Amino acid sequence: MAKRRITFIALLLVATFLRLPDAAPTITSFTASTGGSANFTGNSSKFLQVTNNSLNIGNSSFTISWWQKSIDIQNNFPRILQFGHGRPYSDQFAISEERDGNIYLWINGINISSMPNPSPENSGWNHIAITFDTSRNNIYSWFLNGVFVKSSSETTASFNTLGLDLLIGSGDYAGDGGFSGNLAGVQISQSVRWNTSSSFTPPTDFQNVGAGLAFSMYVNETDVVDKSGNNLVVVPIVTSYGELAADFNPPTPDPTPDPTPDPTPDPTPDPTPDPTPDP
């Protein structure tokens, strides 16, 4: 009996002083319409792999958008998304968030355009979008939380993405590193969804996305799926789904109320004094 007691105490001490690391983020508050998010820890070998048998952005108009909750400055040059695996494709068609504090669009080896990495304010979530409009002299435009940021023009960049896996969270290349933070609602369309002349409310319903999208990422409690009509297969390249899935709580946009006009008061007439009789 004494031997068993000693063994039990020894095991208890081991369990006490050699604690397992805390569990990775999991979904603790799930709303079906918004879904969850994918959590990435900077590991370049952990990402979402989307089997792409239909999506060729090429040199046509497009819109790419996503929600992110990230650290202020990334390590190295992680790809938020990239078509194709590894270093040969890291600059062919990719969006990176790099350690210099900028987000870049790369096409055919060219740094097409960039915008500053937004600070994680309020809830920490920011919606980022970039459009390419061939009808407007090949204009690339960036948006942050539905507000136009900047535009630039590049006429020579194009790359055929057909048949190349779409990777989210890393480009599968250790030299670039992996994204640190959360991503949700990654969407790609082969059209211009938003123009620079007006602001828009960033989408938050990723369960019911409607038509017109070539890819739309939705994180539920058991897997990640494509909600677009293409129904592309999404495979989490991670040890377990629990280490990937996390909460997604985008900020609720405050509608701008119509101004309430001040009521115009009825003019108050000056009282007419009674005439003073002559004595």
* Tens-place pLDDT, residues 140-149: 999 999 999 9
pLDDT-derived band of residue 238, with 50, 70 and 90 as boundaries? confident
57 inside domain: yes
CA distance 214 to 226: 9
198 inside domain: yes
pLDDT-derived band of residue 27, with 50, 70 and 90 as boundaries? confident
> Percent of the chain at pLDDT above 70?
80
CA distance 170 to 15: 35
81 inside domain: yes
265, two tokens: 């008061």
Query: Which pLDDT tens digit goes with each residue over 80-114?
Result: 999 999 999 999 999 999 999 999 999 999 999 99
32, two tokens: 């079906």
Q: What is the domain range of residue 235?
A: 47-246
267 inside domain: no
Number of domains in the chain: 1
187 inside domain: yes
Q: For the whole model, what pTM was predicted?
A: 0.81
Q: Which residues of 100-119 are buried (b: 16+ CB within 10 A; e: fewer)?
A: eeebbbbbeeeebbbbebbe
Hey, is 125 helix, strand or coil?
coil
Which residues share a beta bridge with 217? 226
- Residue 209 is part of a domain; what is its CATH number? 2.60.120.200
153 inside domain: yes
pLDDT at residue number 122: 54
Q: Which of 26-30, 71-75, 99-103 has maximum average pLDDT?
A: 99-103
8 inside domain: no
32 inside domain: no
